[in-house]
Amino acid sequence: MTRLLYALAGTDKTRQFSPHVWKTVMSLAHKGLDYRTVPVGFTEIPAIEDGATATVPLLRDGDRLVCDSFDIALYLDEAYPDRPTLFGGEGGKAMARFIEAWSQSTLHMAVTRIAILDIHDLLGPVDRDYFRRSREGRLGASLEDIAAAGKQEIEGFAKKLQPLRNMLNVQLFIGGDGPLFADYIVFGALQWLRTTAGTKVLEVDDPVALWFERCLDLHGGAGRRVTAA
């Protein structure tokens, strides 16, 4: 059985950069499941799997189609209970929902402002037009103005990670001695920045930077398959 993972890409089809896709990449690697990546551009998404989704990741596992990275992780734990758990029980699911809410409200907007022009430049002409139109409409400013505001985000980014930093002073991963899906949520946000803008926001000896390096090394270095921008 061939699993398919539909993943966002620009003109370089090997450079997947979506934070949500990276959550699923790490989830599949955590479970030790083989799959084939199907790279798609923004404007190609509505046509995949007969219009099954408006966003990626989308996972086809046999006759099952599952979209949304959190739902995919839940599905993988249910479908493959004999393989390493992504949540470690109901408490881990609740923790991951909190981490996701924090990451998307705190980290994602900061990365958007820092990397928005870099993301735009990764895309082909049709996707560039879509990206500019949709993001400027959503954020109420030009991409250039958003990027200008992103310079302040670079200076303050490390402070946003202080709760994680405090925790990593006493344990290796958000999941404890080993990673859980909660780790992959935050990893996805930082990997998004790494693979699009490559902007340095952490000192090399920062506990969060050291954790991120550990995450990049997980599962045979799955996170390093795409080089930093």
Q: What is the pLDDT of residues 139-160, one digit of tens each?
A: 999 999 999 988 899 999 999 9
- Please, are residues 218 and 179 in contact by the beta-carbon 8 Å criterion? yes
Domain residue ranges in the chain: 4-79, 90-220
Asked whether the whole model's pTM tops 0.95, one would answer yes
What integer pLDDT is reported at residue 1 of this predicted model?
65
pLDDT tens sequence across 88-125: 999 999 999 999 999 999 999 999 999 999 999 999 99
Kindly state the DSSP code that residue 105 receives in the 8-state scheme: I
For 4-79, CATH gives 3.40.30.10
What integer pLDDT is reported at residue 70 of this predicted model?
98
Measuring CA to CA, which residue among 46, 38, 33 is closest to residue 14? 38
What integer pLDDT is reported at residue 2 of this predicted model?
83
Cβ density class 62-81: b for 16+ within 10 Å, e for less: eeebbbbbbebbbbbbeeee
Fold of 90-220: Glutathione S-transferase Yfyf (Class Pi); Chain A, domain 2 (1.20.1050)
pLDDT tens sequence across 164-215: 999 999 999 999 999 999 999 999 999 999 999 999 999 999 999 999 999 9
